[in-house]
Amino acid sequence: MTLATCAQAATPGAAAFGDWSRTTEQCKHPEFQLHASDVTLQTGADGTPVTFKFPKVAWSEDTPGQVTAELNQPHPYGKAPGKTALTFKVIDADDIELVQRTHPVPLHRCRPR
């Protein structure tokens, strides 16, 4: 195990850090930008892009392979106004699922071009 692998394993949420979108075409403007201390969400359901920034995020590992980002404020994916966290299931290095909703939303890692 390399030092980087050990550090990643010790940091809750590290496997989910990066830029994520539902399709590779959407990677020009990733829907989820997940980092150790902040999260940015970009939505555009009605055709108008809207950005939500969450500057103080705390990550936790709920169960092996499932992590939660506590955003400390409501977000657009919450079904209730008091919902302040996003939960992700890590599938592999390039795939995660947003498990906020009834049906998980598959997300794919956006790679630099």
Tens of each residue's pLDDT in the chain, 113 residues: 343 444 445 688 999 999 999 999 999 999 999 999 999 999 886 778 899 999 999 999 989 999 999 999 998 887 777 789 999 999 999 999 999 767 899 999 998 76
Are the C-beta atoms of 21 and 28 separated by less than 8 Å? no
Element (H, E) at 8: helix 3-10
pTM to 2 decimals? 0.85
- What's the confidence (pLDDT) of residue 3? 37
Q: Tell me the residue range of the domain where 9 lies.
A: 3-109
Instruction: Give residue 101's pLDDT.
Output: 67
- Of the candidates 111, 67, 68, the residue with the CA atom closest to the CA atom of residue 90: 67
The CATH number given to whatever domain includes residue 83 is 2.40.128
Across 2-33, b (16+ Cβ under 10 Å) vs e yields: eeeeeeeeeebbbbbbbbbbeeeebbeebbbb
Provide the number of structural domains found in the chain.
Answer: 1
pLDDT at 49: 86
Q: Which pLDDT score is estimated for 10?
A: 62
